[in-house]
Amino acid sequence: MSRDRDSLAVPSRRLGRLARFTGLGTSIAGNMLAEGAKRVARGERPSVEGLLLTPANAQKLTDQLSQLRGAAMKVGQLLSIGGDDMLPPELAEILAKLRDQAHHMPPQQLRRVLNDAWGAGWMAKFEKFDPRPIAAASIGQVHRARTRDGRDLAIKVQYPGVRESIDSDVDNVLTLIKLSGQAPKGVDMKPVFTEAKAQLHEEADYLREGAMMARFGELLAGDDAFVVPSFHEDLTTKDVLAMSFEKGQPIEDLLSRDQAVRNHAVELLFDLVIRELFEFKLMQTDPNFANYRYRPETEEIVLLDFGATREIAPELSEGYRKLVGADLTGDWRAIDQAARSINLYSGELDKDQEAALEGMFLAAVEPLRHDGPYDFAASDVTLRLRDYGIALRETKFDHAPNPVVMFLHRKIGGMYMLATKLEANVNVRELLRRYGFD
């Protein structure tokens, strides 16, 4: 395995990871002192928050979390998709950069991880194993390999120390957010971060992910629109996941295809979300575009990454059915009652809070209520959702969300983002009629 300029070793021990956080804090504090002195010299009275969220500190925070990978990076990703209404725009922008940044392990570290998982003689099982990953993300990286018995595989290898550092990393990120002064005022973020820890522990268990992949393969076995990689249990451990390699182009490449092709692909994905919520009661909740690949020759969509798959309790599924039914009426009182039934929020609302929530909900359900193909490219619905989120935050809204529901909404919000990205026209109302909604 040769050396790679883009590789960077992952700190695998808790003390090493803590030192990175400590060093980050010291470096940012130094920047704050220097920047504060400059601003005072100019006659300004800078705030702590303004000093912390300078471009230099934002870059340091982004770079350090991307080097730590694991939970530190994943929490940034979790909070930057579909959770923008919970965070100030400055912090959301910093965390959003983590969606596209990930280094991969250098060859020596990769070899050690595979030796621990498969034993020192593991190369004897393979005809070829490419040491340069074809993908690198927050928890692991993916390699192309071919076994001696002819299987063409994708091998996902977990970064060392990720599982053991989840709880401490999440706590450290929460501390950074609190110290920044940018935590949502009055909102108890602990339940959200507790749920994030639980989800990350599940994502770090590759045996569980393999089982979820197999379940989705069974659920979609008769559907020729989707391809799910086959799970290869004999080469899978908690730290290494083996699956069939499935070719495909990035889903974003569809933007160069005809309108009808784009519409069809996005319609399939919206339909899948509806099935996950109401039929399967099992949802892959990570909306990262990299989890979808497209095969132009067959118009199939390849589904990847089942680590964030969540079971949906029957009562929650039924609660969503009532909420969608209320959404389709556009009656705010009915929507409010249904939203409370699944603990989207609770308690009394003042006039400004209710106005912001009503605007947010009615904007969010606009594609569902539109009778005919909804033009996501021409719509400003995502901008309106952002603006209502900012308005809601300014009211000091302190009703903590149901964390499980938050992650489901993250997936739904991701579908809106993808539909907008691909400039698709989708008749979501007609899709819902197929599942019993009038």
CA–CA separation, 410 vs 156, rounded Å?
24
Closest CA to 388 of 78, 84, 49, 79: 84
Q: Which two tokens stand for residue 42?
A: 């100019």
The 10 Å Cβ neighbour count of residue 188 is 12
The 10 Å Cβ neighbour count of residue 436 is 9
CA–CA separation, 420 vs 57, rounded Å?
31
Per the CB < 8 A criterion, the answer to whether 332 and 361 are in contact is: yes
Based on the residue annotation, tell me whether 286 is a catalytic residue of this protein: yes
CA–CA separation, 302 vs 247, rounded Å?
8
Angle of the 403-421 helix axis to the 190-203 helix axis, nearest 10:
70
Per the CB < 8 A criterion, the answer to whether 376 and 259 are in contact is: no
Kindly report the length of the chain.
Answer: 438
CA 36, 40, 44, 46 dihedral sign is positive
Secondary structure of 395-432 in HEC code, one letter for each residue = CCCCCCCCHHHHHHHHHHHHHHHHHHHCCCEECHHHHH
Q: Using CA atoms of 231, 234, 239, 243 in order, give the dihedral in degrees to the nearest 10.
A: -30
H or E stretch at 26: helix 14-41
Query: From the candidates 84, 85, 271, 286, which is the catalytic residue?
Result: 286
CA–CA separation, 163 vs 203, rounded Å?
9
Please name the residues in contact with 73: beta carbons below 8 A apart, sequence gap of 6 or more: 65, 66, 98, 101, 102, 138
Beta strands in 108-151 (DSSP E): 126-129, 135-136, 140-147
Closest CA to 360 of 375, 338, 381: 381
Please name the residues in contact with 430: beta carbons below 8 A apart, sequence gap of 6 or more: none
Closest CA to 96 of 420, 424, 390, 417: 417
Per the CB < 8 A criterion, the answer to whether 209 and 203 are in contact is: yes
The 10 Å Cβ neighbour count of residue 348 is 7
Identity of the residue numbered 97: K
Q: Helix or strand or coil: residue 380?
A: coil
Indicate which residues carry an active-site annotation.
286
